[in-house]
């Protein structure tokens, strides 16, 4: 009897020992293409006791997932910089960062400051920048040479040949095209509602022109490459990928300024592997890893000289679309104050439900 | 077997089902009701109230979408019945014994691939540069491709295709039980095709029809992928509203209320359908 108990005990300890000895797990919650296999392999070689597990998601779903568990289940998340403040205020899903553990020196100061101002609550910083990119327009310059601003997507000359994504970005872009500054209106929600109503009228009238709303990068690429549409709202990274395949398709920063997002690093409130998370953050900020990462994401790393670390083909695509003036004209997404999400959501529903076109 | 042993085996057999219903259906729904009755007053502060339901009633966009979803689901159900009935009748009554299995299998095969793949199949066929449109251009019937995708018709075609099997299966199993002698007797007594269909076949198949309609209607009203992928700029679907509330607007409270409203609304529609057709759940769904 005693022997058996001993045996069972021995067996279970070896099993246990094997499990705990093999690794700490780093559970990443990030965007598709933000954790290329090449980098994961390299990371696991350098830190053999860390296993990396990746879950791909997007801003809204990241927050929904973390909210459902109160910030458990993942050790590092990568929402955009405007999705930190309100989410933390409302649901408390992130942990303050220990900045001494992060090589903030290598980060580009503009982006670091932009994220810090957006992601500081009660003096604690909840996020640091990783990659940045813009949302703007793309067009096939042989078929739609005149596309310059957001409102050109609604130009009747291109009826049935343009597309956009029915999310908050197009609301903001349209507001800018109308000569307004939606981010300034955030401080007075009544004024913002009035602006949203006017934007909605514009976009409802626009439904006659556009072909369909795209849902993700894949259906947008398919429509653009097949020539079914000639101009669209787009993420710059998607446009760069298409530029590889068809040099006539270029990214166009709108004249009112491309809208700029910064994807960040944030640690979920109940993350269990903070050390591994910091290791990952510092690891992907190393110059050679930045190039691998940017090659996969198509976005520019928020490190000093990030644009120079792009792979060659991407560098060409960026040069073809951005001038110095365009870069100075970038509009960073402002923090979304509580309540605005709801107002914008309602406006989007109104646009979708309207039978204008 | 003693009585106790019988009882024990009954409990054991029943336990998985009971656990499933309780843990995966009843408990989450109770959670949803509780969630839907919370009103947000400030960040992290909630109050009990019916605000989410009142919001639904006050906003025409929401109930219009619900009505739209319901009416399109009814149309899909009707089309599935119209197309499915002859197929089921052929499989059950006309086809030979061996052909029957093969035909049934052919109906099943599309279900072996996921919803998503089937929707993409339709996209490849219907899009402006897709198979059908290219064929028309090639044959010279049109100069420019025609866009068949991104409209309500595409959604309905896709949905009928997805759910028709759930109409055919119960129909085949009821029609299978009907003796050929009944139909022969109908003809012998001087009935025409139409009379036999109307007075003998349809009444006999009624349980199958009702069961099929209920299943297809519920599946359609609750579907998400097909309407999203095939639908156009004007085709809102109620499940999309629920998704938006939960994910885009972080408004779980009203999302939960919407989920409940959809459940209640479809249940009432089914109940009305049963009342109007003079059937009950016990002699339709339970029998097939």
Q: What's the pLDDT tens digit per position in A288-299?
A: 999 999 888 888
Whether residues B246 and A64 touch (CB distance < 8 A) is answered with yes
Kindly indicate the confidence band of residue A273, based on its pLDDT and cuts at 50, 70 and 90: very high
Which domains does chain B possess? 53-277 (1.10.3720.10)
A36 vs B282: CA distance, rounded Å: 55
CA gap B56, A334 in Å, rounded: 30
Interface contacts A/B by beta carbons within 8 Å: 73
How many other CB atoms sit within 10 Å of the CB of residue A334? Answer: 20
Pairing of strands A331-332, A259-265: parallel
Distance from CA of B19 to the nearest CA of A (A): 23
Residue A74 has pLDDT above 70, yes or no: yes
Among candidate residues A193, A204, A201, the one with its CA nearest the CA of residue A343: A193
Which whole number is the average pLDDT over A329-357?
83
Q: Of all helices (H) and strands (E), which one includes residue A116? A: helix A109-118
In terms of Cα–Cα distance, which of A161, A133, A152 is closest to A310? A133
pLDDT (0 to 100) of residue A19: 44
Query: In this structure, are residues A137 and A231 in contact, taking their beta carbons and an 8 Å threshold?
Result: yes
pLDDT > 80? residue A16? no
| Mean pLDDT value across residues A237-260 | 91
pLDDT at A14: 47
Q: Topology of domain A2-132+262-311, per CATH?
A: D-Maltodextrin-Binding Protein; domain 2 (3.40.190)
The answer to whether B250 faces chain A, any CB pair under 8 Å, is yes
Of the ranges A205-214, A318-327, B91-100, which is most confident? A205-214
- 10 Å Cβ neighbour count for B102? 11
More confident residue, A338 or B81: B81
What is residue B108's predicted lDDT score, i.e. its pLDDT? Answer: 84
pLDDT at A1: 46
Spatial separation of the C-alpha atoms in residues A138 and A165, rounded to whole Å: 13
Contact A167 B246 (CB under 8 A): no
Q: What is the pLDDT of residue B109?
A: 86
Q: What is the per-residue pLDDT for A22? A: 53
If we measure between CA atoms, which residue out of A133, A112, A101 comes closest to residue A304? Answer: A112
Indicate yes or no: CB of A63 within 8 angstroms of CB of B149: no
Tokens of B107: 């109906």
- A135: β partners: A235, A259
- All residues at 6 or more sequence positions from A131 whose CB lies less than 8 Å from its CB, including other chains: A34, A262, A263, A293, A294, A297, A299, A300, A301, A302
CB-based burial label for B14 (10 Å; 0-12, 13-18, 19+): exposed
- Nearest-by-CA chain B residue for A163: B233
Q: Is the pLDDT of residue A2 over 60?
A: no
Asked if A86 contacts A168 with a C-beta cutoff of 8 angstroms, the reply is: no
Interface of A with B (CB under 8 A): 60-61, 63-64, 67, 87, 89-92, 160, 167, 207, 210-213, 215, 222, 226-228, 338, 341-342, 345-346, 348-350, 352-357
CA distance A318 to chain B (A): 29
B44: chain A residues, CB-CB within 8 Å: 90-92
Residues of A in contact with B149 (CB under 8 A): 212
Q: Is B188 helix (H, G, I), strand (E, B) or coil?
A: helix
- What is the pLDDT, as a whole number, of residue A357? 41
d(CA A136, CA A173): 8
Q: What is the pLDDT of residue A128?
A: 95
The domain A133-260+332-353: what is its CATH number? 3.40.190.10
Mean pLDDT of A96-103: 93
Query: What is the nearest CA distance from A167 to chain B, expressed in angstroms?
Result: 9
Q: Which of A123-132, A249-258, B59-68, B104-113 has the lowest mean pLDDT?
A: B104-113
Calpha distance B62→B56 (Å, rounded) = 6
Domain with CATH 3.40.190.10 in chain A: 2-132+262-311, 133-260+332-353
Please, are residues B221 and B266 in contact by the beta-carbon 8 Å criterion?
A: yes
Q: Are A242 and A249 in contact, with CB atoms under 8 Å apart?
A: yes
| Residue A64 to residue B250, Cβ atoms within 8 A | yes
Contact status, residue A236 vs residue A133, Cβ threshold 8 Å: yes
Mean pLDDT of A249-272: 93
pLDDT, one tens digit per residue, over B256-288 is: 999 999 999 999 999 998 888 887 777 766 665
pLDDT value at position B27? 94
């Amino acid at each position: 009897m005693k022997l058996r108990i001993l045996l069972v005990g021995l067996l279970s300890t070896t099993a246990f020992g094997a499990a705990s000895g093999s690794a700490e797990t780093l559970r990443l919650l990030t965007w598709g293409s933000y954790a290329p296999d090449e980098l994961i392999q390299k990371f696991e070689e350098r830190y053999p006791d860390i296993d990396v597990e990746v879950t791909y998601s997007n801003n809204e779903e990241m927050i929904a997932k973390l909210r459902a568990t109160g910030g458990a289940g993942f050790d590092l998340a990568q929402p955009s910089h405007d999705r930190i403040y309100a989410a933390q205020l409302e649901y408390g899903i992130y942990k303050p960062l220990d900045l001494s553990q992060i090589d903030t020196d290598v980060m580009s100061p503009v982006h670091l400051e932009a994220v810090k101002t957006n992601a500081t609550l009660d003096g604690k910083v909840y996020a640091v920048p990783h990659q940045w990119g813009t949302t703007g327009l793309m067009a096939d310059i042989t078929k739609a040479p005149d596309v310059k601003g957001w409102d050109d997507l609604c130009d009747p000359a291109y009826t049935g040949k343009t597309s956009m994504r029915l999310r908050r970005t197009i609301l903001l872009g349209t507001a800018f095209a109308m000569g307004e500054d939606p981010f300034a209106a955030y401080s007075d929600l009544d004024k913002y509602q009035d602006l949203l109503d006017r934007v909605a009228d514009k976009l409802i009238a626009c439904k006659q022109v556009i072909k369909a709303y795209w849902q993700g990068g894949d259906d947008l690429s398919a429509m653009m490459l097949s020539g079914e549409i000639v101009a669209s709202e787009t993420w710059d990274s998607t446009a760069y990928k298409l530029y590889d395949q068809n040099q006539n398709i270029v990214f166009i920063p709108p004249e009112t300024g491309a809208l700029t997002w910064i994807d960040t690093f944030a640690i979920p409130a109940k993350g269990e592997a903070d050390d591994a998370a910091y290791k990952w953050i510092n690891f992907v900020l190393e110059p050679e890893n930045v190039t691998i990462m940017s090659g996969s994401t198509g976005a520019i790393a928020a490190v000093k000289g990030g644009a120079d670390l792009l792979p060659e083909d991407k560098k060409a695509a960026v040069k073809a679309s951005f001038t110095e003036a365009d870069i100075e004209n970038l509009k960073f997404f402002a923090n979304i104050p509580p309540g605005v999400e709801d107002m914008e959501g309602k406006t989007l529903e109104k646009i979708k439900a309207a039978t204008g076109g | 077997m003693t009585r106790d042993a019988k009882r024990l085996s009954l409990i054991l057999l029943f336990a998985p089902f009971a656990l499933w219903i309780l843990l995966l259906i009843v408990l989450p729904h109770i959670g949803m009701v509780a969630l839907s009755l919370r009103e947000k007053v400030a960040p992290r502060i909630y109050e009990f109230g019916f605000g989410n339901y009142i919001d639904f009633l006050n906003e025409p966009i929401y109930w219009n979408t619900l009505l739209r979803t319901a009416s399109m689901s009814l149309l899909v159900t009707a089309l599935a019945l119209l197309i499915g009935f002859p197929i089921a009748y052929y499989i059950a009554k006309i086809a030979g014994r061996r052909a029957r299995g093969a035909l049934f299998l052919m109906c099943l095969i599309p279900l072996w691939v996921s919803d998503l793949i089937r929707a993409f199949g339709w996209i490849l066929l219907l899009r402006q540069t897709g198979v059908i449109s290219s064929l028309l251009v090639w044959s010279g019937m049109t100069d420019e491709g025609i866009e068949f995708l991104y409209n309500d018709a595409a959604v309905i075609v896709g949905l009928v295709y997805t759910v028709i099997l759930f109409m055919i299966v119960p129909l085949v199993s009821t029609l299978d039980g009907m003796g050929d002698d009944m139909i022969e007797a109908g003809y012998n007594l001087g009935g025409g095709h139409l009379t036999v269909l109307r007075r003998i076949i349809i009444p006999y198949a009624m349980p199958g029809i009702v069961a099929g309609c209920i299943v297809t209607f519920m599946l359609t009203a609750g579907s998400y992928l097909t309407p999203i992928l095939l639908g156009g700029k004007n085709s809102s679907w109620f499940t999309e509203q629920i998704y938006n509330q939960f994910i885009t607007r972080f408004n779980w409270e009203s999302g939960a209320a919407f989920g409940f409203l959809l459940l209640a609304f479809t249940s009432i529609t089914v109940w009305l359908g049963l009342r109007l057709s003079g059937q009950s759940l016990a002699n339709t769904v339970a029998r097939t």
